[in-house]
Structure 1
Amino acid sequence: MRVLAEVHARDGYPVNWPDQPGEWLSRGPLLGSWVAELEGGLVGHVSLSQDGEGDLAPGLWSERNGATRGMTAVVSRLFVAPQARGQRIGALLIGQAVEEARRRALHPVLDVVASDTAAAALYERLGWELMATVEQQWSPHQTVAIRCYAAPS
């Protein structure tokens, strides 16, 4: 939780701090989660899950590819400690999640808040395709622009 709190304080991720951060990290239909360590300390995290309520990218990918929903896996909860950035940790974590998705014959997709330009730049450097940017209502008073990506085939 310490690393997540550091990332939230510096970058505003997650946008809305969860009441129970541990539960937030493990919520949903998880297919797997991975952490990265550097010099004995935890410095990063990523999850892979089945598509769930509120995930936009799985539906977009299915529509574009004429596939039934359920053929994707959602990469989420990616964060890297500020002091550990620039060492390809984020790319390695994403790679692990993509590998697991492909092992399960699922196509990796993800949603990212449009204001998180550093994350979007990472995905694009790794060859992920921007499918669309859409508005999503998170609460009666909060509408957020979401960028939806698909992993390269």
Structure 2
Amino acid sequence: MTVTVRLRAATDLEACARLLVEVHRTDGYPVEGVAEPISWLTPGNAVEAWVGEVEGAVVGHALVCAATAADDAARLWLERTAEPLTRVLAFGRLFVGTAGRNHGVGERLVRTAMAYATERDKRLVLDVMDKDRAAIRLYERLGWQHIGMVTHHFGEGRETGAQCYAAPS
């Protein structure tokens, strides 16, 4: 199987939106955003996005955003370091549909984002819901440093536990 990771193009958004709805249906990820998937995939602070393909079909997605003071992982990282917020990027919107699983698509997307941040002398941070155990295992296997736990609030009065990580330097 041919697996590639490339920059996301505007023409990929419909396929990514369909894929996001599929992943939400099968895995409950994300906990929010599937009512308007294209909006969720194109936040105003997005810096770069990639898609993973298997045999030319979009099967995965990842995104980095400029971190804000409201980002839990960024806040925790800044509490630990003297780095300015401008040196931090938030990683997220990582998902791989069933057709892309067990082909290394998720790992390649994460490594691509890590390389992007490193090339720009930025620190990559993220939060991941406690229930997303496979993602947690992937980040830990790739050397991400656990920096704390938070409660993620979503929807009307809903919440779930989340783990925060920083990419290795």
Q: TM-score range by the shorter chain?
A: over 0.9
AA of the residue aligned to 1:10: T
Per-residue deviation, 1:111: 0.8
Following the alignment from structure 1 to structure 2, what is the Cα–Cα distance between the partners of residues 28 and 67? Answer: 23
From 85, 94, 104, the counterpart of 1:78: 94
Per the alignment, residue 41 of structure 2 pairs with 25
AA of the residue aligned to 1:47: L
Per-residue deviation, 1:80: 0.6
AA of the residue aligned to 2:114: V
AA of the residue aligned to 1:41: A
**TM, length-normalised to structure 2:** 0.84
Give CA-to-partner distance per residue, 1:74-130, whole Å, 9 cap, x none.
Answer: 111000111221111111101111111122211011111111111111111111111
Q: Are positions 1:46 and 2:91 aligned together?
A: no
Per-residue deviation, 1:139: 4.8
From 86, 91, 108, the counterpart of 2:107: 91
Q: Name the SS for the 1:99 alignment partner.
A: helix
Q: Are positions 1:123 and 2:123 aligned together?
A: no
Percent identity of equivalent pairs: 39
Which 5+ residue runs of structure 1 have no aligned equivalent? none
Per the alignment, residue 136 of structure 1 pairs with 152
Following the alignment from structure 1 to structure 2, what is the Cα–Cα distance between the partners of residues 13 and 136? Answer: 13
Q: Are positions 1:15 and 2:27 aligned together?
A: no
Which 5+ residue runs of structure 2 have no aligned equivalent? 1-16
Per-residue deviation, 1:144: 1.9
Following the alignment from structure 1 to structure 2, what is the Cα–Cα distance between the partners of residues 129 and 13? Answer: 22
Per-residue deviation, 1:54: 4.0
Between 1:103-112 and 1:136-145, the stretch displaced more is 136-145
**TM, length-normalised to structure 1:** 0.92
Give CA-to-partner distance per residue, 1:38-58, whole Å, 9 cap, x none.
Answer: 112111000011013642111
